Structure 1
Amino acid sequence: MNKKLTTLALACLAFLGAKAQNPIIKHIFTADPAPIVYKNKVYLYTGHDTASVTATNYKMPDWHVFSSSDMVNWKDHGVLLSPQTFSWATGDAYAAQCIERNGKFYWFVSTFHKSDADSKGGAAIGVAVSDSPTGPFKDAIGKALIVNEMTTDLKHSWDDIDPTVFVDDDGQAYLFWGNGSCKWVKLKSNMTEMDGAITTFKPKNYIEGPWIYKRKNLYYLVYASAGTKPEMIEYCTATNVAGPWTYRGIIQDNVPNSFTTHPGIIDFKGKSYFFYHNGSLPTGGSYRRSICVDYMYYNADGTIQKIIQTKEGVKPAK
């Protein structure tokens, strides 16, 4: 009997393992998911972890793009951008987000700035542009859009990271970003110039990784929180993109085997999806992360239900 039970248990585990979708990218380590929907397809822009198993810091040489028509089968379009694309940049390829406007694709990235006449160094945000969601991408303006000297509320040099961008219903574009505090600024319609002064604020427990979007006249600011370590995902809502922002609580608890997590949110084919990363692949960890996706649900009042992290992931979208 014991032998039969053991065989049955192993068969069940094998069945569950075969059905497991998360992490959705398994052949390389990926982090900081940034999905967009374009022409009935999801394009997923990611960081790329290449640190060794024993490393104690990040090694992120470039950004990848993946695409899927069903949220289950993902095509790797390869390395489409790196800090080397930008003559002013140095260091690693941190969190980034791409957005389409008027047939062009603007990829806002965070990396570090070389010390030169334009900057004393520190984290910076650049923007690349392409006529296609899969490139080729080039530096849109030949210089950083945001440099460390533009934000002085915090003294550390890595506060200008993790850009998130969206275009409101009236056509006004906004860029949010920041580690330690959240910053935002209007963008001109060309998506490569600031339109006004930078505003800085601090949502409750905010640390980094903001994701800004709008749903049914309500603005959502979702972010990685510093209430505890490892990070969790919390959020605020507002009826005006400039605030005031109302804190709404935690929507994702700690993820397996990684002290960071990072949100990415889309609606696709009638369902809402929540992307994040963890360290659950074999030999994975905080510097060898992997992107996952699970369903996201809203309550009638627009608040977000707690994200249920699963190994099964999502079913093919129809």
Structure 2
Amino acid sequence: MKTVKILIVLLTALLLSCKENTLKKESKHTAILNLNVFPEKGLVDAHSIIKDGRLYVFCGHDESWDTEDTWRMNRWEIWSTDNLINWKKENEILPTDTYIGDKPNCWAGDIIERDGKYYWYFSNKNKDTGVMVADSPKGPFVDALGKPLLPEGIIGKLHPYDPEIYEENGVYTIFFGAGYYFAATLNNNMISLAEKPKSIIVLDENGKDMWTADKPCIFKRNDIYYLIWEKKYAMSKNLRGPYTFKGASLKEGHCNVFEWEGQYYALLENKDISLFYRGISIKPLYFNEDGTLNIPRDDTSYPANGRKWDFDISEMGWHSVEGSNLIWNKNKSIKGEILGNTTIESSRWLLTDLKKHDTLVLRLKNKSAATKAMVSLASYTSKGAFWKNNKPLNWEKAVNIEIEITANDINFKEYLINLEEYPELEVQLERLRITPALGVKEGSWEIDKISIE
């Protein structure tokens, strides 16, 4: 009997140990979800490489949160992590380090290693594609050609940019293009093509050739190749296709997929501040038994619910238009002295659906004799590349909403505006203006929250 009790104790201890080890293993591999990895840094177009237990991410940098007309990207930045949580900035690559010169054309690229060398393939805006080389993923990187690897005209009138590099069995293939994709094998030197680019066919559900978008993302899992673009994806048994369209991918754009500790992840573009000042999300990528993507029901893009400014990090996204300075308070607010008719303004192209988010929240501390404030909303109907017709915003057509406020506040007061009461608002929010103190010429104001909910 004593022997039996000892065996039971040992078996119980063994089971508890196995359970504890299993829990530790599950904890170690718990999938990480971060909808905004680098808030307010303007980093986007992330592409990754894993070396010696570190993930290196190469990102383009949006030049300014106040850009209104196009994607102006003034450098690439290299960041790394060993846990997908804590990040270290490693280096920068400037357009002046390449044949691009002093132009904000640092669009998307891709990074890959071969024989101890690291090759950074980069877009010169949407014009062409170049290549740089380094001895480390941290750089420094040197322009390998001093001219494009994929020059204008190589695929006719289409644009040879947004490269994606895929390696299999020692063969390196460069994919690129927008709308229609092309691929070519790279020579062993990695800075020249072994063949003329050939088109990649993507078929829709009816078996017809399909128009896609920019920035192809290619990866393989089991025996299936995946092609992802702008919230959609296709699958194939062959690297060069044809690919068959399957449906929606994860929300957000410009995808890059990597595997970390047995879990697939997608790096995605988000709209952190606005259309032209973006950020990066990390989302786990799941699969069904048949290999198709398993998209969570609660998958969302950032910012997920309307748009919110709580000024935790800086005043980014807001500036003074007239009658006041605007400074960031480390107590997580923005404030200014009233020096006349005072107006502050957000960035442009806020991409917020006013039919789904119908409440504007303003938390204001009014240190003046004013009893009214005004919120102005400029809105638009999104059709095609709406920003290309970049005329100065006509604020006379904006919806102006006056609100009653208390004078000479000691504490913040919260004011709610029901946007459903203003049917003249169009679908998308373009820009906000706030006059925190109407009709006074002195005093001060402070705001610690502005949101569309």
TM over 0.5: yes
Report the alpha carbon displacement of residue 142 of structure 1 after superposing the two structures with TM: 2.6
1:138-174 deviation per Cα after TM superposition (whole angstroms, max 9, x unaligned): 01123210011211153xxxx2221000111x21110
**2:107 aligned counterpart, secondary structure:** coil
Residue of structure 1 in register with 2:171 after alignment? 172
Q: Could you tell me which amino acid in structure 2 is paired with residue 181 of structure 1?
A: Y
Higher relative contact order (CA 8 A, sep 6+): 1
Tell me which amino acid in the other structure corresponds to 1:193: S
Q: Structure 1: how far apart are the matches of 2:154 and 2:301? A: 41
- The counterpart of 2:257, out of the listed 254, 259, 265, is 265
Q: Secondary structure at the match of 1:206?
A: coil
Match of 1:252, SS state, is coil
What is the TM-score with the length of structure 1 in the denominator? 0.77
Structure 2 SS opposite 1:98: strand
1:97 matches 2:110 = yes
On the 8 A contact 1:294/1:309 being kept in 2, the answer is no
Q: Quote the Cα distance in structure 1 between the aligned partners of 2:44 and 2:198.
A: 27
| Counterpart contact for 2:201–2:241, Cα < 8 Å | no
Cα pair 2:109 2:162 within 8 Å, conserved: yes
Q: Is the 8 A contact 1:25 1:74 kept in 2?
A: no
Paired with 1:310 and 1:144, the residues of 2 have a C-alpha distance of 34
Residues 1-318 of structure 1 correspond to what in structure 2 (within 5 A)?
A: 21-53=34-66, 55-79=68-92, 81-87=93-99, 90-111=103-124, 123-154=127-158, 159-168=159-168, 170-201=169-200, 203=202, 204-224=210-230, 233-253=231-251, 255=252, 261-280=253-272, 284-306=273-295, 308-309=299-300
- The structural deviation recorded for 1:125 is 0.4
Q: Whose strand proportion is higher, 1 or 2?
A: 2
Preserved CA contact (<8 Å) 2:179 2:211: no
Deviation track 1:30-88 (CA, whole Å, cap 9, x = no partner) reads 11111222221111110101234252222201100110100111111231x12211235
Contact preservation (8 Å) 2:33, 2:282: no
TM-score with structure 2 setting the length: 0.55
RMSD over aligned CA atoms reads 2.2
Change (3 A) 1:54 1:198: closer
CA offsets, 1:114-153, max 9 Å, x none?
Answer: xxxxxxxx71100101110010100112321001121115
Residue 61 of structure 1 aligns to a residue in which SS? strand
Q: What are the ranges of 5 or more consecutive residues in structure 2 without an aligned counterpart?
A: 1-31, 203-209, 304-453
Query: 1:180: Cα distance to partner?
Result: 2.5
Distance of 1:293 and 1:52 partners within structure 2: 22
Gap change, CA 1:128 and 1:263, over 3 Å in 2: same
Greater gyration radius = 2
C-alpha distance in 1, partners of 2:118/2:243? 29
**Inter-partner Cα distance in structure 1 for 2:74 and 2:109:** 13
Separation of aligned partners in 1, 2:69 and 2:99: 28
Give 1:311 deviation, angstroms.
7.1
Shift of 1:25: 0.9
Q: Give the unaligned 5+ runs of structure 1.
A: 1-18, 113-121, 225-232, 256-260, 313-318
